Amino acid sequence: MSIIDSTKIFKGNIIFTPTPNEFFTIENGYIVIVNGKVKNVYKILPEEYNDFKIIDYSNKLIIPGMNDLHAHAPQFRHLGMAMDKELLPWLNDYTFPEESKFKDLDYSRNVYERFIKEVWKQGTTRIAVFATIHKNASMDLMELFIKSGLGAYVGKVNMDLNSPPYLCETSEDSLMDTEEIIVKYKDKSPIVKPIITPRFVPTCSSELLKGLGELSIKYKVSVQSHLSENKNEIAWVKELHPTSNFYGEVYNKYNLLGQSPTLMAHCSFSSREEMALMKENNVIAVHCPSSNLNVGSGMMPIRKFLDNDIRVAFGSDISGGHTCSIFKTMIYAIQVSKLFWANSNKEIPFLSNSEAFYIATKTGGSFFGKVGSFEEGYDFDALVIDDSELNYFNYSLEERLERFIYVGDDRHILHRYVCGNLIEEPRSLIQL
């Protein structure tokens, strides 16, 4: 491919966050992309690019795509439903029976196609998702993501303990199925990958956890799970693993806490030691503020994690969270951080807009590679925002971005790019 063929030049209002502390903006500037990766951004396009065609998004906003680091794809049917049920009835009456239906591939495809369409719609370009225990449906979800052009880490869930009989595997099956998926999918796509996904400590035997850790190391596969979401859960883990000093130590013992790249969702009640270990092992703590507020289990003290140099990303956590939008998740994260701010007599600073944006883009993206920024070498994952409907009073670029986040919605996302490719709305296979 010639340099001209492999190069794309975009013009528009460029906004991104190389650091958490401020937005980097260029008004009607240029982004040069070579082979799907950012070469550079320019206020004035260098002469060497004079002969290249320019993709013109003048006056629109060009921002990095959103990264969602925690979502339960099979709970999509229950999005925004049963929100006034408590956690246990919600799991037993809604979530577990629903997940059990995913043994049926027709059913799973129906839900997963709708889910991916919604992910696309909301401007999420990379996502880490939990599927269910079912091997075939999990692989189908990976196929659907590959077809979509979006980036995704998809986890077949592991549960061999403390689970309803209709949603429980043997340890052997669980490990065998997981390995089969890893072998089939680890090199199939550069941006859709398997991820090892013990649901959480209480639903996994020590044997299963041990096997999963071994698979993770053997195949260099990432890991995702839940950690310290609520106090009863922490007490339960302590009961199940009395020799462990804290929840995260159980994962760590079985090589599931940062021995390969690891996502841990919630961390609302992580102890000082747990946080120290997360930091040491470079684990990403995934903050799911909409879920925190809906479920009422607890809230991650995000500033504590940031102050301790622990990487923090955002998760929609549908359907504990009720929105797939990482933009709306940013708002919730800022609001939750303001609760800590207010409760500390304003001593714990709340998240600034640029910090929230940095978390949603650059930190979230760091799990997937060089993703989430427009610095040199980054994959060009981007959203083109047409906010003309909202921008009737000559707002500044930063104000326009803030208003799009707070007031706008998917209607204002004109185009979505992953690795430099324009991603079209996923088409349903079922309706074909």
Residues of this chain that bind its own copies (CB under 8 A): 77, 79-84, 114, 293-298, 322-323, 331, 334-335, 338-339, 341-342, 350-353, 392-393, 395, 399, 402-403, 405-407, 409
* Shorter beta-carbon distance to its own copies: residue 217 or 430: 430
Nearest distance in Å: CB 210, its own copies: 35
Nearest distance in Å: CB 333, its own copies: 11
Nearest distance in Å: CB 322, its own copies: 4
* Shorter beta-carbon distance to its own copies: residue 314 or 380: 314
* Shorter beta-carbon distance to its own copies: residue 25 or 352: 352
* Shorter beta-carbon distance to its own copies: residue 168 or 339: 339
Nearest distance in Å: CB 133, its own copies: 21
Nearest distance in Å: CB 233, its own copies: 14
Nearest distance in Å: CB 387, its own copies: 11
Q: Interior CA angle at 79 toward 76 and 81, to 5°? A: 135
Nearest distance in Å: CB 329, its own copies: 13
Nearest distance in Å: CB 412, its own copies: 12
SS3 track for the chain: CCCCCCEEEEEEEEEEEEECCEEEEEEEEEEEEECCEEEEEECCCCHHHCCCCEEEEEEEEEEECEEEEEEEHHHHHHCCCCCCCCHHHHHHHHHHHHHHHHHCHHHHHHHHHHHHHHHHHCCEEEEEEECCCCHHHHHHHHHHHHHHCCEEEEECEECCCCCCHHHCCCHHHHHHHHHHHHHHHCCCCCCEEECEEECCHHHCCHHHHHHHHHHHHHHCCCEEEEECCCHHHHHHHHHHCCCCCCHHHHHHHCCCCCCCCEEEEECCCCCHHHHHHHHHCCCEEEECHHHHHHHCCCCCCHHHHHHCCCCEEECCCECCECCCCHHHHHHHHHHHHHHHHHHCCCCCCCCCHHHHHHHHHHHHHHCCCCCCCCCCCCECCEEEECCCCCCCCCCCHHHHHHHHHHHCCHHHEEEEEECCEECCCCCCCCCC
Nearest distance in Å: CB 58, its own copies: 23
Of 156, 245, 168, 231, nearest in space to 198 by CA: 156
